[in-house]
């Protein structure tokens, strides 16, 4: 056993030595807190003064393989940020387990990803903050222009714990969130226009099901395809929002928040879906299909309505065009707003936190690193790579070798640092002119009426109680749609929940948290 203690001690000494290596040669040890230790101009001569520091980053990836640490893009990023990166890539599926054991064994990397879309939903993280595990970054942010300005106000505001920010939110485009998308060619064939009300939506779905929209003489199409998963009503939440006008679980009414499932609109949405299901307008196996399967139904030309996002249209177009000639981007169209509702996204997804085991000077260096990484030309490497290897310049336009970019896994760097492009959810730079104009217009129209969700509100009772509530509500919705239960069961369930003291307590706590934010 002694031998193991020696090994363990040696190992921990080595680990701490590595993470403290950055302290050498640092000039401003007596500087007041809050001042950056490094000029934020990338490529300036002052950088030569300081040694690059080794930064360990814990993050996840979704693709087939993570990028190579000896690859040219990583080297370029390291040079621009004056660091040596030790990135611990983890599988996105089991990241939370890894995070938990890392916290439990006090083996956190220097920069840690909190992967939940809304990190404040991660109870372990919130407890960690309360136990002083992570740095309060609030006083430091203003010294790093890219971090401050390129991440939206709403992202910072939505992620405060006790009024402070304990992580850097990963910015995302907030406009043009996933919403109803239609086969424009089918709409044209049937002489229909993009729906703006739920009645029109119903008519479109019906026409897609019964009026042979693809003109092949076969009765092989349906209206809507979508999927759901345990704990979430998935794509079908979009229908609920049309009737409740709420984006997500909470809705503002007269200055306070109410639970959107208790709204009258929710009941109407369930009736809408039930009617649609009975008439065959949504896929019959809506409760069982996987994400892949539901998309395959759309790309296979068997359904005409999907919840999607115009910036990712190429994924659909690539597949549909393989069996439908002349199919291109303009054959898909997103709805602007239905019933006056269109969703706005929160503007962030997850966040990166720095544990307090990292000394203050190094923490500031890490912030500089992120700041430098967020420079446009550095960030561009995530999608373009290096000239000559991943893309070429032809007449001033960038021609990307997509296969090489995918093979090198460059997109995964986006999991660490991202710079949200205002129109990032509407179109991609390489779309044809008319597509760009169209989707840009749609986004601008949406921005006028879009509804943002309420996220990151804290409720102690709710953290253990709400998952059960959501499950019970979703289960009931499915049973009613399938016809196993009558709509009156929904009313009974809602009444029961409204009278449950735990629910009332949760609503009270959520509202307190909401008021605290204002």
Partner 1 sequence: MQMQKDAVLNDNKKMIEPSKKPNKAKKLITDIYREKYLYLLALPGILYFIIFKYAPMYGIIIAFQDYSIFKGVMDSAWVGFDHFQRLFSEEDFYQMLRNTLAISALNICLFFPLPIILSLLLNELRNQIYKRTIQSLVYLPHFLSWVIIASLSVILLGKSDGIVNFVLNELGFKSFDFLTNPNAFWLLITGQAIWKEVGWGTIIFLAAIAGVNTDLYEAARIDGANRLRQTWHVTLPAIRNVIFILLILKLGDVLEAGFEQIFLMYNGAVADVAEVFDTYVYRVGLQQGQFSYSTAVGIFKSAVGLVLVVIANRLTKKFGEEGLY
Partner 2 sequence: MKLTTGEKIFNVFNIALLGLVALITLFPVYYVFIVSFTEPSEFVKKTIVIWPEQWSLDAYRYLLSAPTFLRAIGVSAYLATIGTFCSLLLTSSFAYAISRKKFRGRKFILMAVLFTILFSPGIIPNYLLVNSLGLINNLWAVILVSLTSGWYVILMKGFYDSIPDALIEAAAIDGCSDITAWVKIVLPLSLPSIAAFGLFFAVANWNQFFNALLYLNDHEKWPIQVLLQNMLVDASASGVSAADTTVARPASQQLKMAAVITAIAPIVCVYPFLQKHFAKGVMVGSVKG
* Minimum distance of partner 1 from residue 504's CB (angstroms): 18
**Site for partner 2 (CB under 8 A): which residue of 77, 161, 204, 311?**
311
User: What DSSP character marks residue 338?
Assistant: B
355 forms part of the interface with partner 2 (CB under 8 A): no
Q: Which residues between 411 and 470 bind partner 1 (CB under 8 A)? A: 463-464, 467-468
HSE at residue 201, side-chain half, CA atoms within 13 A, is: 27
* Minimum distance of partner 1 from residue 182's CB (angstroms): 21
Q: Which residues between 8 and 67 bind partner 2 (CB under 8 A)? A: 8, 10-11, 60-66
Q: In terms of CB distance, is 46 or 422 closer to partner 2?
A: 422
104 forms part of the interface with partner 1 (CB under 8 A): yes
**Site for partner 2 (CB under 8 A): which residue of 21, 71, 92, 190?**
92
Count of CB atoms within 10 A of residue 35's CB? 10
Gap between the Cα atoms of 328 and 295, Å rounded: 17
CA distances from 375 to 38, 48, 49, 414 (A): 15, 19, 21, 13
Q: Which residues between 315 and 354 bind partner 2 (CB under 8 A)? A: 315, 319, 322-323, 349-350
Strand partners, 253: 256
DSSP class per residue in 342-357: -B---SEEEEEE-BTT
Smallest CA-to-CA distance from 287 within 514, 479, 500 is with 479
CB-based contacts of 481, cutoff 8 Å, min separation 6? 270, 273, 274, 277, 286
* Minimum distance of partner 1 from residue 305's CB (angstroms): 16
Smallest CA-to-CA distance from 346 within 112, 144, 111, 170 is with 170
Strand partners, 353: 112
293 forms part of the interface with partner 1 (CB under 8 A): yes
* Minimum distance of partner 1 from residue 284's CB (angstroms): 4
Strand partners, 179: 308
User: Vertex 91, ends 85 and 93: CA angle to 5°?
Assistant: 145
34 forms part of the interface with partner 1 (CB under 8 A): no
From 278-286, 311-319, 414-422, 491-499, give the range in contact with partner 1 by CB under 8 A: 278-286
Q: Which residues between 2 and 31 bind partner 1 (CB under 8 A)? A: none
213 forms part of the interface with partner 2 (CB under 8 A): no
Residues listed for the chain? 518
Q: Which residues between 74 and 103 bind partner 1 (CB under 8 A)? A: 100, 103
Q: Name the token pair of 490.
A: 């929904």
Q: Which residues between 160 and 189 bind partner 2 (CB under 8 A)? A: 172-173, 178
* Minimum distance of partner 2 from residue 126's CB (angstroms): 15
Gap between the Cα atoms of 39 and 60, Å rounded: 30
497 forms part of the interface with partner 1 (CB under 8 A): no
Phi/psi for 205 (5° steps) reads -60, -40
* Minimum distance of partner 2 from residue 341's CB (angstroms): 18
Per-residue contact string for residues 396-425; x = within reach of partner 2 by CB under 8 A: ----------xx-x-xx-xx--x-----xx
CB-based contacts of 466, cutoff 8 Å, min separation 6? 459, 506
Q: In terms of CB distance, is 361 or 485 closer to partner 1?
A: 485
Q: Which residue has the tokens 């897609």?
A: 208
From 47-55, 142-150, 284-292, 363-371, give the range in contact with partner 1 by CB under 8 A: 284-292
**Site for partner 1 (CB under 8 A): which residue of 35, 41, 107, 127?**
127
From 225-233, 261-269, 393-401, 504-512, give the range in contact with partner 2 by CB under 8 A: 225-233
């Amino acid at each position: 056993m002694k031998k193991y203690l020696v090994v363990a001690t040696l190992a921990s000494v080595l680990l701490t030595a590595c993470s403290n290596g950055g302290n050498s040669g640092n000039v401003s040890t007596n500087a007041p807190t809050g001042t950056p230790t490094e000029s934020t101009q990338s490529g300036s001569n002052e950088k030569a003064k300081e040694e690059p520091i080794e930064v360990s980053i814990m993050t996840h990836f979704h693709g087939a393989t993570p990028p190579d640490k000896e690859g040219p893009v990583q080297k370029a990023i390291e040079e621009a940020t004056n660091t040596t990166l030790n990135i611990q890539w983890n599988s996105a599926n089991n990241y939370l387990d890894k995070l938990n054991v890392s916290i439990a064994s006090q083996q956190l990397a220097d920069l840690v990803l909190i992967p939940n879309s809304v990190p404040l939903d991660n109870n372990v993280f919130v407890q960690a903050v309360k136990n002083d595990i992570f740095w309060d970054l609030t006083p430091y942010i203003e010294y790093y222009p890219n971090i401050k300005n390129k991440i939206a106000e709403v992202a910072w505001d939505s992620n405060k714990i006790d009024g402070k920010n304990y992580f850097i939110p990963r910015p995302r485009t907030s406009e043009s969130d996933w919403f109803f998308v239609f086969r424009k060619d089918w709409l044209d064939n049937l002489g229909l226009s993009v729906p703006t009300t739920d009645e029109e939506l119903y008519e479109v779905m019906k026409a897609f099901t019964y009026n042979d929209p693809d003109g092949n003489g076969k009765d092989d199409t349906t209206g809507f395809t979508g999927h759901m998963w345990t704990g979430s009503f998935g794509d079908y939440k979009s229908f609920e929002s049309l009737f409740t006008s709420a984006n997500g679980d909470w809705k503002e009414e007269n200055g306070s928040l109410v639970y959107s499932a208790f709204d009258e609109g929710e009941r109407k949405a369930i009736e809408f879906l039930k009617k649609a299901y009975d008439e065959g307008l949504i896929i019959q196996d809506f409760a069982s299909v996987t994400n892949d399967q539901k998309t395959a139904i759309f790309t296979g030309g068997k359904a005409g309505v999907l919840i999607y996002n115009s910036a990712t249209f190429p994924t659909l177009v690539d597949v549909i065009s393989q069996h439908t000639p002349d199919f291109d981007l303009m054959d898909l169209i997103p709805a602007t707003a239905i019933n006056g509702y269109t969703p706005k996204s929160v503007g962030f997804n997850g966040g990166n936190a720095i544990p307090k085991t990292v000394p203050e000077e190094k923490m500031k260096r890490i912030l500089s690193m992120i700041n430098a990484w967020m420079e446009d030309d550095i960030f561009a490497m995530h999608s373009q790579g290096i000239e000559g290897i991943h893309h070429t310049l032809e007449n001033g336009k960038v021609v990307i070798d997509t296969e090489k970019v995918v093979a090198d896994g460059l997109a995964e760097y986006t999991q660490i640092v991202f710079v949200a492009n205002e129109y990032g959810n509407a179109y991609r730079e390489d779309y044809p002119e008319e597509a760009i104009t169209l989707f840009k217009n749609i986004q601008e129209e949406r921005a006028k009426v879009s509804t943002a969700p309420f996220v990151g509100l804290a409720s102690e009772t709710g953290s253990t109680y709400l998952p059960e509530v959501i499950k019970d509500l979703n289960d009931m919705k499915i049973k009613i749609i399938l016809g196993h239960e009558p709509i009156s069961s929904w009313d009974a369930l809602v009444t029961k929940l409204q009278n449950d003291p735990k629910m009332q307590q949760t609503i009270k706590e959520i509202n307190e948290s909401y008021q605290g934010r204002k």
